[in-house]
Amino acid sequence: MSTNWALKIESLGKIHGIPDLRSLEDTGPEKGTAKSALTGSIVAAWDVSFEVAPGEALGVIGESGSGKSTVMRCIAGDQGSTTGAVRLRTVHDGHMNVLDLDPSSRRHLRVADLSVVYQDPAEGLRLNVTAGGNIAEALTAAGWRHFGRIRDRAAELLDRTEVPLSRMDDLVGTFSGGMRQRVQLAKALANEPPVILLDEPTTGLDASIAAGVLDLIRNLLEETGVAAVVVSHDFAVIEMLTTRCVVMNHGRIVESGLTDRLLEDPHHPYSQKLVGAARA
């Protein structure tokens, strides 16, 4: 069972500044900081390892600055990593560390192997392009050529993410925040990637809108069998979407486990503080 992963992260690390390993000595949860006084470098993430199986959603939770978005960006390829390995089952059956790929091959993974949904839709979409056009971009990148088929597929995806088809030819910039997130989801799923990364997908939305987007994400995760990594500071989001999660603090994973166990029986002092704050 443990070999059945779609995404595997091994000892991923990211140091901003001089990658001097002495920075590790005076940073981390015990030191209470990610910034090394010794070297001046910031250890944004270190020794981060986890794997995600098809159909499984893994949560990454922590306060802002804990390194969770850094991890996501290193996996996505938006940011370079200092050390470690990222393996995708669809890339040489997981034998290849995708961090070793040249930049253009790395970018190509984003077509059909790995999708990202960002907190800010402007990162995942072009706001001055129509909803249909944004999805068409993803499809043409994957080799779709026939105009009619592209339109049909875009309509199908928008329907699935509950975007009214009457808005298909409107610029995304004219959409509300919740609707932009739905278009981003439609685009992310366009080429049926085996892995999807969701970075604070509902943060910043009104509560009622966030609940709707969250329900949609949950349905999509259940129905597509995609392996998902959900990054959030919000336990309600993690509880609703994931079965397992890791807790990050000052760039390190301090605890990992079944999500309900982490909520009801957190072990690490930081996890207890985090859960206590969420419950208050």
Partner 1 sequence: MNPNNFILSCQGLSKSFTLHTIDGRHVEALRGIDIEIHPGEHVALAGSSGAGKSSLLKCIYRTYEPTSGSVFLRLRNGENVDLTQVSDQEMAFYRGRDIGYVSQFLRAEPRRGPLDIVTRAGVSRGMDRETAREAAVVSLRRLNIDEKLWDVHASVLSGGEKQRINLAAGTISAPQLLLLDEPVSALDPNNREAALDLIGDLTSHGVAVLAVFHDLEAMERLASRIVLMRNGQVEMNGTPEDVLKVLAEGVPS
Least separation in angstroms between CB 181 and partner 1: 16
Stretch that binds partner 1, among 38-46, 105-113, 127-135, 235-243 (CB under 8 A): 235-243
Is 53 or 196 the residue whose CB approaches partner 1 more closely? 53
Q: Is 174 in the site for partner 1 (CB under 8 A)?
A: no
Site mask for partner 1 (CB under 8 A), range 193-232, x = bound: ------------------xx--x------x----------
Please give, one letter per residue, the 3-state secondary structure of 164-201.
CHHHCCCEHHHCCHHHHHHHHHHHHHCCCCCEEEEECC
> Does residue 278 sit in helix, strand or coil?
helix
Would you count residue 272 as binding partner 1 (CB under 8 A)? yes
For residue 176, what are its two tokens?
């509300």
- Give the nearer residue to partner 1 in terms of CB position, either 15 or 254: 254
Helices (H), the chain: 68-76, 103-112, 121-124, 131-141, 147-160, 177-189, 207-224, 235-241, 259-264, 269-279
Q: Indicate the residue among 23 and 161 with the shorter CB distance to partner 1.
A: 161
Q: Does 273 participate in binding partner 1 (rule CB under 8 A)?
A: yes
- Candidate residues 96, 133, 239, 278; the one interacting with partner 1 per rule CB under 8 A: 239
265 near partner 1, judged by CB under 8 A: yes
User: CA of 131: how far to CAs of 61, 143, 161, 168, 181, in Å?
Assistant: 31, 19, 12, 5, 11
DSSP-derived letter for residue 231 is E
Number of residues that bind partner 1 (CB under 8 A): 26
Instruction: Specify the residue, 151 or 268, whose C-beta has the smaller distance to partner 1.
Output: 268
Taking the CA atoms of 104, 109, 110 and 116 in sequence, report the sign of the dihedral they define.
negative
CA distance 79 to 171: 28
Out of 1, 93, 128, 148, which residue is the one contacting partner 1 (CB under 8 A)? 1
Q: Is 54 in the site for partner 1 (CB under 8 A)?
A: no
Which residues, including other chains, have CB under 8 Å from residue 91's CB and lie 6 or more apart?
98, 109, 113
Using CB under 8 A as the binding rule, whether residue 250 contacts partner 1 is answered as no
Sheet holding 252-258, edge to edge: 114-117, 195-199, 227-232, 57-61, 244-249, 252-258
261 binds partner 1 (CB under 8 A): yes
Residues 56-95: x/- map of binding to partner 1 (CB under 8 A)?
x---------------------------------------
Nearer to partner 1 among residue 66 and residue 82 (C-beta)? 66
Pick from 205, 213, 212: which is nearest to 177 by CA? 205
- Where does this chain bind partner 1 (CB under 8 A)? 1-2, 53, 56, 211-212, 215, 222, 236, 239-240, 243-244, 256-258, 260-261, 264-265, 267-269, 272-273, 276
